[in-house]
Structures are given as structure tokens and as C-alpha cells.
């Protein structure tokens, strides 16, 4: 009986995931849990109001470009108080080439238990979290920035997932600004 309940709950989560539709900054509806036939999906939780998030934009854009053929990438704005004009300006100023999602109801942030910007989540085509945390170790603490990153946590996780290998470190702690208005 317990396994049947677990199976039913898991099925409900998959149905809820596949039904989730978020509006993009492009004005279109998007299903963020649809892999689009790619081997991975990357969700970058970002904010135009977080300077730490801005520090990582160049690397997030590089990851988007480097993995465009094999991974779907979303830039997710989950701060409850973000304005569309700020999100559009942020996307334009940072030359974001991936789909920008507005998660004002914080459904994605809550689903993944994302807490800060920037935070990266890497999922498999069936929606399982393969990696979550920092993009790299540029920040070792809230105010402890190194001159340069010494790890490539997200890139290493992507490479492992895409080549069918286990992810060496599937969870790290992201450093940045708290997602505002997050309901727990």
C-alpha cells in the first residue's frame, strides 16, 4: 500500500510539472518542465536587483551558448516584486539568448527549493534534479569573493550528465541575494 501511495504522489508531481506554464518575457507561454528533446535542462534563478547575480551573467551566457545543442536553458525571475520592465531591461542589457521566465508565483523556486540568485538547477529529461547550487566558487561566502573562480561546478555537472557519468558533487551552496517574498 505504501508503495502505491508513493507511486500516486510521484505521478501527481509529474502531472503537475508537465502542466506548469509560465509566461516568458517574450510574452509567450512556456512549459519549463518540457525538455524539448534535449538531454538536460538548466534553470538559472536570477534577479536584476542582485549585484551578485550580475557578476555571473557572462558565465551564464557562455554556458547557454556552449550547451545550446544539448541543453534547454531558462533564466528564471522569481522575486515576487520584479517588474516586467526591469526583467526586459535586464535581459537586453545582459544579452540573454535563452528563454526568460517570470515566476512571480514562485512555483519553480518552491519546486526546486531555490533560495538565492544566482542559483543553478540542472535536471534530467524526466525532471529529476541532477545538480543544484552554485555556478562556480567565485563567492565562498556572502561577502567573500575570490579574484577568480577555481571550480566549474555547473559545467562539471553538465559534462557528467551529458556523458552519462555520475555527477561528482550533485549539491553545492549558492551564494547571492535571497529570493524576495519566497513562501516556504
- Tens-digit pLDDT profile for residues 53-94: 889 999 999 999 999 999 999 999 999 888 999 999 999 999
Count of Cβ atoms closer than 10 Å to residue 24 Cβ: 17
Give 65's contacts (C-beta < 8 A, 6+ positions apart). 97
> How confident is the model at residue 32, as a pLDDT?
94
The confidence band for 175, taking pLDDT boundaries of 50, 70 and 90, is very high
Nearest one of 113, 116, 122, 125 to 167, comparing CA atoms: 122
133 within 8 A of 171, measured Cβ to Cβ: yes
Task: Give pLDDT tens digits for 21-46.
Answer: 999 999 999 999 986 789 999 999 99
Distances in Å between the Cα of 75 and the Cα atoms of 13, 98, 121, 161, 169 are 22, 7, 11, 20, 23
* CATH for the stretch 21-178: 3.40.30.10
Length of the chain equals 184
DSSP string, 132-153: EE-SSSSEEETTEE-SS-S--H
The alpha carbon of residue 93 and the mean position of all alpha carbons in its chain are separated, in whole angstroms, by 20
Cis peptide preceding 118, ω within 30 of 0: yes
Find the angle CA(88)-CA(90)-CA(49) to the nearest 5 degrees.
120
Predicted TM-score (pTM) of this structure: 0.88
Amino acid at each position: 500500500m505504501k508503495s502505491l501511495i508513493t507511486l500516486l504522489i510521484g505521478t501527481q508531481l509529474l502531472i503537475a510539472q508537465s502542466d506548469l506554464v509560465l509566461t516568458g518575457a517574450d510574452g509567450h507561454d512556456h512549459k519549463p518542465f518540457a525538455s524539448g528533446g534535449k538531454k538536460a535542462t538548466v534553470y538559472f534563478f536570477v534577479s536584476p536587483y542582485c549585484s551578485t547575480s550580475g557578476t555571473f551573467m557572462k558565465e551564464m551566457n557562455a554556458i547557454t551558448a556552449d550547451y545550446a545543442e544539448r541543453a534547454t536553458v531558462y533564466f528564471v525571475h522569481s522575486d515576487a516584486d520584479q517588474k516586467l520592465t526591469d526583467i526586459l531591461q535586464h535581459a537586453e542589457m545582459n544579452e540573454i539568448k535563452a528563454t526568460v521566465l517570470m515566476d512571480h508565483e514562485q512555483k519553480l523556486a518552491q519546486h526546486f527549493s531555490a533560495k538565492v540568485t544566482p542559483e543553478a538547477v540542472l535536471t534530467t529529461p524526466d525532471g529529476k534534479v541532477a545538480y543544484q547550487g552554485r555556478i562556480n566558487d567565485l563567492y565562498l561566502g556572502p561577502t567573500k569573493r575570490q579574484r577568480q573562480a577555481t571550480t566549474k561546478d555547473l559545467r562539471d555537472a553538465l559534462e557528467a550528465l551529458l556523458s552519462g557519468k555520475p555527477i561528482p558533487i550533485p549539491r553545492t551552496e549558492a551564494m547571492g541575494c535571497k529570493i524576495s517574498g519566497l513562501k516556504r
